[in-house]
Each structure stands twice: as C-alpha cells, then as structure tokens.
Structure 1
Amino acid sequence: MVLPSEPEFEQAYNEVVSTIKASTLFQQEPKYEKVLPVVSVPERIIQFRVSWENDKGEQEINNGFRVQFNSALGPYKGGLRLHPSVNLSILKFLGFEQIFKNALTGLNIGGGKGGSDFNPKGRSDNEIRRFCYAFMRELSRHIGQDTDVPAGDIGTGGREVAYLFGAYKQYRNSWEGVLTGKGLTWGGSLIRPEATGYGLVYYVEQQIKYATKGKEDFTGKKVAISGSGNVAQYAALKVIELGGKVVSLSDSKGAIISEAGITPEQVFQIQDAKLKFKSLEEIIGEASAFASSPVKYIAGARPWVHVGQVDVALPCATQNEVSGDEAKALVAAGVKYVAEGSNMGSTQEAIDVFEGERVATQSISAPAVWYGPGKASNAGGVLVSALEMAQNSQRIQWTAEKVDEELHTRMIALFNESIKFAEKYTAETNKESLPSLVQGANLAGFVKVADAMFAHGDVF
C-alpha cells in the first residue's frame, strides 16, 4: 500500500510495477499479478523512541525504525541509515528495493531497512556510543542471525557497527553474526568495504562486453562518478585499475572535475580526509596529491553537466541525484553506459531519458544508452554482506581473493539473469535494441520472491 505522504516509496513502487506491467509476464503467467498487492506491504514495521544523553548531560530524543519488508527468501537484510532525512517513506523505499536486490544475489536473504534521524556528524565518540546503545536497546528485541541482519549505510560506518554489535552482545548475551560490516578481528569479511564499488564496476564491465560483443572493456573509457564516500572511492579505484579514466567526484557541497583523470593517490587522500568529515573543497586545498595534479572545483554542483565528453556515468551519492535535464546532458556528452552505485540514483524522468535512448534507432544522431538500475548494479555490497553471514555461520574467514572471486562471479550471474528475464518477457517492438536492464532486474527479482511466497502460502 502506498500512502500519499510517502513520495520516495511511491516512486520506487511505481518504477517496479510499471516495468513489470510493461512486460508480458502477467499475460504469459497471470498468477503473478496477485503477488503485487501482497509484496508491496511490509511484513512488519517497528518504530520506537531513542532516548540518550549527550556530552552536556542533556537528554536527546530521536526516532528509530526497522522496516522488515519481506522474508520469503531468508532473514531480513538491509542497512541502518543514520541521517536527519530518515523517515518512514525513505526506509520503505529502501526496504522495497532491497527485496529484489537481495533476490538478485542468488543468496538466501530477505529485504529490510532501518535507521534513525540521528545525525552522527559533529558528535563525539562517546555521544555516538551512547546513541548506539540506546538505539540497540529496542532494536535487539527484533533482530538476530536467523531473523534480521542489519548492516551499515549512510552515517553508519565501522565505528557505529562496532558499537551496535557491542550493545547487542551485552543485551542478548549472544555472540552471533547479527550485523554485517563488522571488524575483521571479530567476524567481518575481507572486501566488504570495497564490495559495492567493485561490484558496480564488474557490472558495468559486463554491460560494455555485452554491448560490444566482447570487443571493448574499460580501457580508455572516460568515467564520471558522483559521490566521494565508500562506494565512489572504490568504484574509482577499480575503474583506474581496469584502464579507465575517472573525471569527477562530488559531495553535498560541490564537485571536482579532472580532465587528466583523478589519481589513486588523490582517492586515498580523500578516503583519509572523509573519515574526519572534511569536504572536497577543503581536501583539494590541503591534500598534497592535488598540488601536483590540480582539479577544478565547482561549488554547489553535481558533476553531470560539467564533465564534458564521457563514456560511463556512475551515480554513487544518494537517491534522485540525476535529473531529467542532467540525463539529457549526459546523452549529449556521448554517455553509453549508466549504472547506479546509489539506491534509486536517477529520477524517473532521467530513467525515461536513458530508456528512450536505448530503444531509439542506433545511429550517430541517436546513440544507444544502456542504463543499469541500482537494485542490480549496486548489489555487490549486500552480496558480500551475505557472504559475511556465511563465514560467520562457518566460524571462518575467507581470503580476500576468494571473496572477490565470489563477488565477481555473482555480479556476472546477476547481470546475465537480468538479460534472460528481459528477453523472455519483453513486449518491445524494436528487437534490435539492447535489452532493458531495469525491466530485467525487476522481473528476475520479483519472480524469485513471488515463487517463494506462493510456496509458503503468503499468496494463494
């Protein structure tokens, strides 16, 4: 059920439903239509008060949430977001997307999301610890390794996960894999910090190979990236490793543009400075790597209309960060591949632009653009989180090489599954165009979840 006061959830719901209804799935197999009104309602929503004490000895109150959306395929799985913008609509949108994203991984995990409107920026370690313990006091009643396994998200990094895990262990007297993104010495997985960024690039690598019949890869490609957090950082490093040129990064205050290409050293220095909550503007004025290789800083801007000619665009910041007009600017700049490192990174208007270009006649005047939706292209993070759960169950830690190999293999499988469903249920008349990855991802995830719901009696 979509409420009028839930615009983010309404957008996510409409995007999934519209693409599924535009396919031939319901014509070929009508039973699946009965699943939509069931899967769109969370199995459980938990909302609670978080009362904690700041460093001045004052009581502060925040709202806590956990949306346990769907457990057909396994324990609820999804991050905990700590940010002032957090509300039920955003968490329902994220949880709804998480259902199908998690299904696409091929692993046994359901969909959920949670968090609080608490802002960790500017808070002391002691304040964050007290908040995390207060938050987990209630949340611990509703989660567990076989019930619901939260993870990090915006505002919830390694420090916050550690405090949350310590609180859970204290309240429940149980050491278990109840959170993912843990430290390496107490149950974490290698490659987890890199997973979303690496997985995104592995996904785009398949787009390029499929579209060019194996003739091209990242070598020589100009890549525009937004964001400068974890996902953007590791996506940039992997692009550079594979021979591409990263021409932009950004944060909430502005964007940096580099015609020569952002270097690994610059990314490493951004990583260090972002841990201290510094802005890109501050970083480029202080970090030594930017003295030897200057970049252009544009205050208050996203990179899309400023990057010039690009081959690949990777939104890696937050939701709705590519508008319809920005999508048109990217098309005019020659972009061929767009894939989201953020959740719902493109507005519906932007998706319409990209999808319109995809089905248009492929020519110099109307080049094809191939768009990959976040529920598929950024699934690497939750994929490795599920691998962390597997390692916790086995009480072992895999090598970085094994985790990266599993990530790479499963991102290829995820991409191929989207292609298979897009081709099987397409209703498009232009059979020469590339398959719709957004439709394919929605169909593949939806059918897998629906089949489990039928089997369990959730739908009848």
Structure 2
Amino acid sequence: MSYTEEVYERVVAQNPGEPEFHQAVKEVLDSLKVVIDKNEEEYRKLSILERLVEPERIISFKVPWIDDNGTVQVNKGYRVQFNSAIGPYKGGLRFHPSVNQGILKFLGFEQTFKNSLTGLPIGGGKGGSNFDPKGKSDREVMAFCQSFMTELCKYIGADTDVPAGDIGVGGREIGYLFGQYKRIRGLYEGVLTGKGLSFGGSLIRTEATGYGVVYMLNEIAKAHNDSVEGKTIVVTGSGNVAIYAVEKATQLGAKVVAMNDSNGYIYDPNGINLDVVKDIKEVKRGRIKEYADRVEGATYTEGLGIWNIKCDIYLPCATQNELGLDGAKTLVANGCKYVVEGANMPTTLDATTYLQENGVLFMPGKAANAGGVATSALEMSQNSMRLSWTREEVDEKLHNIMIDIFHKADDAAKRYGMEDNYVVGANIAGFEKVVDAMKAQGIV
C-alpha cells in the first residue's frame, strides 16, 4: 500500500462520521501521489502527510443566547485552526444548520491549500455554528453573535487567527462580531475581515470571490485561445459569490441565463437581470422564485436540476457536493466546456473525474474561489498599515493574484506531465509551499 493510501485509511479510521473531510483528504492525497512517490522516504520519516491532515487545534463551545420570546437557545460553536505553517490561521465563519465539526475540518483543510496558492502569508482555518440566521430578527442575530464572540475571542487575534464571513455570515454578522471582540478585548485591530468600509473594511471585498472566479475562468479560456465573451453561463446559488460572478461575467460579455437557491432555479433566456436578483436576495432576503414573478419571459422550476439548462460554462457557487455524476453527464451531453468552482468542493469526486475524462476544463474551488480570502488578506494589510486602498487598486491586485494562481496550477500540472489537469496542479502547487514551510520549522 502506498504512503498516501495508508494516510487516507488512517484519516477515515480516526475521523468516523465525517464524509466531507474524508472526501477532501482523498481528493488532495490522490493528486499528490505523483509528488509523494518521488520523495516518499523523506516524507514518511517526517510524517509530513500525517501532520498535514491533522488540525493543529479544534475549539468547540456552547453558544447560549436569548430569542425575541425571551427563551434561552443553545447552539454549538467551533473554530478549526488547521495549519499555521505560512501565516496566522485565515478562513471564514459559517452559520448554517448543516455545520458540524467534520464539515469545518474539510473546509479548513481545503483553506490551507487555497491560502497557500494566493502567495500571501496566511494559514488555514475555518469555523462557525449550527445557528441559522434566516428568519431571525436583527436583535436575535446580534444576541447570538455577541455570545459566539464572547467565547471565540479567547482564541483569535490579528497575528493569531483572522476569521472572515462564509455562508450565513455577511456584513451584518461581521459587524456584530467585531463590536463584541473590541468590547471584550479592548483592541481595535484587523481581527476579522469583511468589515464595513466605515470601520476598516476593504473595497471589492464583497465582490472578490465572485469576481475572482470569473477572472480565473477568463485565464483558462485565454490559455486555450478562447474567450468568455458571447458564452452562455449557468451560475448556481444566489448568494454573494454567485451574484458577483454573474456581474463580472456579464461585464466581460457573457450571458448568464440561470441561478438557483435551495428551493429551485430560475431560467431567463434573455440573460439574468442582476438588479432584480440583488433586490430579492440582498435587500429583501427573499427567495429566488420571486424573480420569475417580476421578470417577463423568466421561469422558475422547483427542486434540483439546474444543470439541465444548456450552457457553455457552468459555475457552481452554492455549497459542497451540489453537482453529482448525473448532473455532470448532462452538462457534457449538452456541450459544456468549462466548470469553474465558486463554492468549496461543490462537485463530487466521481463527477469531477467524469468531467475531466470528457474534455471539460475543470478548475477546483481551492484555486478558483481564492479571490475572497486573497482580498481578505489585502484587508489585513490595509488594517496593519492604517491605510485604505482605492477600488481600482484592490481590483488590480485581486486580478493579478488570480492570474498568478492559474499559472501556478497550470505550471505544476505540466511539470508532472498532466497538462490541463488543474485539480492536480492546484493541489501540488499549494502543497509544495506549505510543506517547505513545515520542514523549515521543525517538528511542530
């Protein structure tokens, strides 16, 4: 049995009931086999892979808070500090009923490689709670966030661990969290990113992940003598990442015809009217089906199946494992040429393999959606220097980071004779930097 297989079996045995974490580890270790085999003796001696797949620290805590009826509610809170070899832990907080320790370990593990690819000095972490902000009043969200931060503040700091937002954690939640951190610790520092512009936030941060996905898509197309312009695109999700992927793709001359949420999907053959989507999702916090009532010619379909809409490019920007094998087969049959992940691991392993084997150019989330955390790191830099860069400055830095990530993944894939396999390329490029730092710092 190979070293990578041994470590994977150990991960499954020692982390029962955590399928998302198992999946993330398997995808990375399978990709790294070509690298590990060349240096197996050294990596075994130093237990590089065993150290890489084990979080440095996991904090788990209860979060009691009082709802609008005066009833005490209790949620679970977590912070997984996965790897600090190249910088302080960096990664979002997710507030969603599906949150558990296994999902956060998968996200923290992925974040380690994603952050490495940005070229910026940030390690990997992730956190969150099974609290659901949907349907809660602002006062209830504030009460929860203050209780959550009362415990979390003991373990984070500008040079230790810098959380950001993720699913369920937007500007409102970050504001409440930052206010409570400042109140308890007495520090005004860049401990959270995604802050409001009036208290240390960065321009372009809201748009960064979605913009970065399309910048990455554009680089892949250019490398294959193609263009985004004139292409038909399906974007899954209707949150922050999806909205700004649609915005940037439209600016580059593509036509986005479909979006969805957890209830169903909309199809607009004339191209999505993003002003309507923003009003529904960002202003009214409503459901995507309202779009069909407001836009002539648009239709709404309940349930799954957005992949049935014919497209040249598919951008999954919702959540993990949303695109399975059946969906991948439909995309291929309908002539889809590019799948670029805006969410974290939204494509199952068998679907990813099928897409690659059938000529679809596939870029994994750890490379494609790194624009968000890259801009968070730029926010950290601005906070440290007490500066605020212009929108144009931040956008240019983001664009250049995404171009650089593409070339790192592309070059690594070519070095190992696997051209156009960006899954392998991204994993190898991220791994090499982290391991170099781990080896230099000794057994820690």
TM > 0.5: yes
| Counterpart position of 2:94 | 81
Residue in structure 2 matching 1:411, options 387, 396, 402: 402
CA distance in 2, matches of 1:110, 1:267: 34
Residue in structure 1 matching 2:147, options 104, 112, 134: 134
| Counterpart position of 2:176 | 163
| Counterpart position of 1:360 | none
Residue in structure 2 matching 1:391, options 379, 382, 388: 382
| Counterpart position of 1:297 | 300
Question: Is 2:38 the counterpart of 1:27?
Answer: yes
Query: 1:81–1:153: 8 Å Cα contact kept in structure 2?
Result: yes
The structural deviation recorded for 1:425 is 2.2
CA distance in 1, matches of 2:270, 2:416: 43
1:18-417 pair list within 5 angstroms:
18-21=30-33, 23-27=34-38, 30-32=41-43, 34-212=47-225, 216-262=226-272, 266-275=273-282, 276-285=284-293, 287=294, 290-291=295-296, 294-305=297-308, 307-308=309-310, 310-357=311-358, 368-417=359-408
Structure 1 stretch displaced more, 269-278 or 37-46:
269-278
Closer/same/farther in 2, CA of residues 38 and 268 from structure 1, 3 Å limit? same
- TM-align CA RMSD: 1.3
The one-letter amino acid of 2:85's match is A
Corresponding residue SS for 2:289: helix
Unaligned regions of 5+ residues in structure 2, if any?
1-10
Corresponding residue SS for 1:141: coil
The structural deviation recorded for 1:259 is 2.2
CA distance in 1, matches of 2:366, 2:250: 24
Unaligned regions of 5+ residues in structure 1, if any?
358-367, 429-433
CA distance in 1, matches of 2:208, 2:251: 15
CA distance in 1, matches of 2:265, 2:356: 26
The structural deviation recorded for 1:26 is 2.6
The structural deviation recorded for 1:205 is 0.5
1:129-156 Cα offsets, whole Å, 9 max, x none, are 1111100010000000000000011110
1:420-456 Cα offsets, whole Å, 9 max, x none, are 1111123x5xxxxx42100000000011100000001
CA distance in 1, matches of 2:139, 2:66: 10
CA distance in 2, matches of 1:302, 1:189: 36
CA distance in 2, matches of 1:24, 1:43: 24
Aligned length: 429
The one-letter amino acid of 1:232's match is A
The one-letter amino acid of 1:284's match is A
The structural deviation recorded for 1:326 is 0.5
The one-letter amino acid of 2:291's match is I
| Counterpart position of 2:435 | 450
| Counterpart position of 1:363 | none
Query: 2:292–2:299: 8 Å Cα contact kept in structure 1?
Result: no
Question: Is 2:423 the counterpart of 1:438?
Answer: yes
Query: 1:229–1:271: 8 Å Cα contact kept in structure 2?
Result: no
Q: Which runs of 4+ in 1 moved over 2 A?
A: 23-26, 28-34
CA distance in 1, matches of 2:434, 2:68: 46
The structural deviation recorded for 1:401 is 0.3
| Counterpart position of 1:431 | none
| Counterpart position of 2:7 | none
CA distance in 2, matches of 1:118, 1:39: 29
The structural deviation recorded for 1:29 is 6.8
Closer/same/farther in 2, CA of residues 334 and 30 from structure 1, 3 Å limit? farther
